[in-house]
Amino acid sequence: MRLRISIALAAAITAIAALTIGVGSAAAGEWQSGPPDPQTTNIPYVAWAGETVKVDKCIGFADGVTEATASSQLGSLIPTPTATIEDWSGVDENNAGPAVINTPNAQLTNSGICFSFEVTSQKPGLAVYKLSLNNAFIPLLFGGDSLDQHQFLVIWLQDQAPVITEAAGANLGDPTGNGVFNPIVGAGPNGTNAFLPGLIQVEVKGTFPFGNDFAGYGKPTVTLPDDWAWLAQHLAVDSSLTGSNAPGAAAMRWDIHDDDLNTEGHVASSFCTTDVTSTTIDAVDNCNGVGSSGDPDLGPFSNIYGGTSDFAYGPFDPVRGFDTLLSDGKLDAGDAPMPALRVDVNLSADSTVGTLSKADKSDIYSRDGTGSSTGGTAHDLYAPFYKALIPAALPGEGSILSDVPATSGVAGHASNNFTSFLGFTDPSDIYTTEQVAGIYDYWDTFTTSYSHGDNACYHASGEPIPLPPWGNRRSRLHGRAW
C-alpha cells in the first residue's frame, strides 16, 4: 500500500512538471525570444486606497499542452493555495488595513494553471503577501508542506489634490504658452467670435506611508510616480537572477513603461525595422505600423526586448506581459503603473459659454497630431497605452475570455450599494469585440449634467458652442499619469 501511494504521488508531481516545464507564465500570445517574465520579479500592484486588487501567479503549460489535456492528466491533483500577510508599511486604524478578501483558488486556463486571490485596504500603505502552494495530493501521509511560494507587493495610494494646467499650442486656446486661456481668433466660418479649443492637463499623484518595518529606509512617505525608481532600488528582486539578489538588485526589472516624451530611435533588440539608431533607450512606439487588430491604438508597440502583441490593452499586468510590457531601457517615474482615477472637472458657476469634451490621447500623444486617423502610420503613436481595461482584472479566470488566460490588478464588479467603475459591466471577449463595457479609450468623459441649447459663439471649426449646463457641471474621466 505504501509503495502504491508513493508511486501515485510521484506520478502526480511528474505530471505537473511535464505539463508546466519550460514556461514561466501564462500569456496572451507567444513570447518573442528574450523578454523576461514579469512574474519572476516583485513589481508592485498599485491601487487607490479602498480598491480591491486581484493578484495572480500563473504557471504556463509546455508547448502542445491544452487545458483539456491538463485537466485529464491532473484531475484534482493541483496544490492547495493559501495566502498570508507578511508585512505592512501603513497605519492599521480600526482594523481597516490590508486584508485578504477570499480564499486563494487554483484554476486551469487555456495557457496554464493560475493561482489568484483578492486583497484590499481602506488605508494607504504597502503590503507584502505570500502565496504558498501546499501539498494536497496525499497530506495524510506526506503532510501539507509548501511546494512553492510567491511574494506579492501591493501598494494603496492616497490621492493628492489634482494639478490643472492649460496646455499650450499653436492650435489651442493658449497659443503663447502663458497658462492663460485666450481663445478668440477672429471671424469663423459662421460669423464672428470663433474660438480655438482649450486643452487642460490634469495630473494627480499619490502617497503612502513607509513606516513600521520599513522605517529603516529613512523615507516616511513615498510619492508615486516620483519615487518609483527609488522604490525599485530598495525593494526589487527577481527569482531569475543568479548570484546575489538582495532587495534592490533587480531594480531595472521594474522598468515596465516608457515616458511621455516624443523622443525617437530604437534599439537593435526591438522588433522595429526602421529608425534603429539608439544603443540603450527605445522610443516605445508603433514602429511597424498597425497590427492584426486593425486598431492603431492597440499597437504593436516596441520595447527593448522586442515588442508587444497586436492587442496592447493597458494597464500593465504581469500575467499579460506580452501585451503590456513597455520597457524602454531606463528606470524613472514614467515606469510607475499609476492606477486609473476618476477626476471631476467642473465649469465655474459664473461661466456663460463653453463645454467639456473628450480629448483623445491618440491625437495628443502622436507625432503628427492626428493619431489613429492616419490609419496607424509607423512611429506615430509614442506614449502607449491608448486603450485600457478598467477595471484591470476582469471577472473569471479564462472562463469569459477565450484568448486571455488571466487578468490581474485593480478589480471591479457591478455595484450593489456602492459606486463602482463608471460604465462597467461584465465584458465579453475583448479580443473579438471592441465595443464592450470595460474598455476605456483615453480620455473618455462621463458627463453627469446636460446642456440647454447653443449660444451665439462658434468653434473655429464652425460648430456652435453649447450653453453650459445648469446645476452640476462636471465630466468624469479616467487616466494614467499622462
* Separation CA 335–CA 457 (nearest Å): 43
Instruction: Tell me the three cell numbers of residue 302.
Output: 516596441
Does 385 sit behind a cis peptide bond, omega within 30 degrees of 0 on the bond before it? yes
pTM for this predicted structure? 0.83
Distances (CA, A) of 389 to 87, 113, 161, 338, 421: 29, 22, 25, 13, 11
Least confident of 63-77, 132-146, 270-284: 63-77
- Residue whose cell numbers read 494607504: 124
Higher confidence at residue 28 or residue 80?
80
Tens of pLDDT along 311-345? 899 999 998 898 999 999 999 999 999 999 988 88
Q: Check: CB of residue 431 under 8 Å from CB of residue 402.
A: yes
Among candidate residues 443, 60, 44, the one with its CA nearest the CA of residue 256 = 44
- A 10 A CB-CB count for 278 gives 18
Per the model's pLDDT, the better-predicted residue between 368 and 110 turns out to be: 368
Residues pairing with 149 in the sheet = 132
Give the chain's length. 482
Residue 87: all three cell numbers together: 508585512
**Cell for 429?**
471577449
Task: Check residue 452 and give its pLDDT.
Answer: 55
Beta bridge partners of 454: 466
8 Å CB contact between 443 and 333: no
Q: Cα(468)–Cα(451) distance, rounded to whole angstroms?
A: 6
Residue 136 predicted with pLDDT over 90: no
477, β-bridge pairs: 343, 445
Confidence band, pLDDT 50/70/90 cuts, at residue 199: confident
Cell of 83: 495566502
Check residue 103 and give its pLDDT.
87
- The C-alpha atoms of residue 121 and residue 53 are separated, in whole angstroms, by 9
How many Å apart are CA 376 and CA 380, to the nearest integer? 7
Summarize pLDDT for 207-237 with one digit per residue, the tens: 999 999 999 999 999 999 999 999 999 999 9
Q: Is the pLDDT of residue 282 over 60?
A: yes
Residues 6 or more apart from 429 whose CB is under 8 A from it? 400, 401, 402, 403
Give which of 39, 293, 24, 60 is closest to 301, Cα–Cα. Answer: 293
Is 205 within 8 Å of 223 (Cβ atoms)? yes
Q: Are strands 475-477 and 445-447 parallel, antiparallel or unpaired?
A: antiparallel
According to the model, what pLDDT value does residue 432 have?
47
Percent of the chain with pLDDT over 70: 66
Residue 270 CB neighbours (<10 A): 27
Average pLDDT (115-121) is 92
- Count CB neighbours of 380 within 10 A: 23
Domain boundaries, the chain: 2-160+205-257+316-335, 259-315+341-389+413-482
| Dihedral-angle region of residue 379 (phi above 0 means left; psi in -120 to 50 means alpha; beta otherwise) | left
Indicate the helix (H) or strand (E) that contains 118.
strand 112-120
Query: What is the pLDDT averaged over residues 9-16?
Result: 42
End-to-end CA separation in angstroms for the chain:
64
400-413 pLDDT, tens digit each = 344 445 789 998 76
Long-range pairs of 90-93 with CB within 8 A, sequence gap ≥ 24: 90/121, 90/123, 90/124, 90/125, 90/126, 90/127, 90/156, 90/208, 90/209, 90/211, 90/212, 91/123, 91/125, 91/209, 91/211, 92/123, 93/123
Cβ-Cβ contacts under 8 Å for 165 (sequence gap 6 or more): 179, 200, 201, 203
Please give the pLDDT value at position 267. 96
Phi (first) and psi of residue 70, to 5 degrees: -65, -40
